[in-house]
Structure 1
Amino acid sequence: MSDCKPLGRPRSTQSHQAMLQATLELLAEIGFDAMSIDGIANRAGVGKTTIYRRYKSKEELVADAIESIREELLIPNTGNFWSDIDVLIESAAQITLSSLGRKTVAMIINSASSNSQFAQIYVTK
């Protein structure tokens, strides 16, 4: 019986977070259409191949980056519906109060309305 080792290096969590952050920053700064995998890789300090090992397209990467922000919103369960709504709104406000958060939300809306492939990937995320 032989020990099977996975081929290649393990995926770096740090690289992945850098990719997501770079994607969100570029989305907010220049928008979906103007950003490129080259630009994301450069900003994140990773190679394009690192990105393409994880994502098939720019749309998929952007949708995952957006999802990473959305995951920060925890759905509360205080036992009272109205208290849950208050906590949820407060959490959402914290994300959108940041400059990056506001710009990103605006770019998501703009990108989804002008790029059907992005809209489809984002909706199914």
Structure 2
Amino acid sequence: MVIPWHGWPLDRIVILLLGFMYLLIFLQVTLYHYRQNFRHWSMWIPVIATPVDGLLLVWLSFHNAGWLRATSILLIAVSMLAGVFGSYMHWRGIGERVGGYTMRNFLVGPPAALPGLITGTSLLGLIALYWR
């Protein structure tokens, strides 16, 4: 069954693309946290949340049910808060390395921008879900 793209509103297209973005972020986050052997319990949060968010948004773009939209809003809001917490943990992790906040620690330590990417993606998702 082919679903025509002609006539799709911008918010629906953005929701679909954000779903794919979450799935790609899931791959990167899983590789980084696996590399660190999931040393802290909080490393599991984005590994579990990003594929759930991604699949929900892809599903929502094809099936606009009220309960699915409400569930997506709730889980994406939680992911946004988790991204803020992840930013704190990553910056703290960089500072705890030998030498503190040096360029070398930014290069080899936890990626400082990746939790911000989750936060930004979640914020954009909430904007798209509330778009009227």
Q: TM-score, normalised by structure 2?
A: 0.31
Q: TM-score, normalised by structure 1?
A: 0.32
Query: Which structure has the highest helix share of the two?
Result: 2
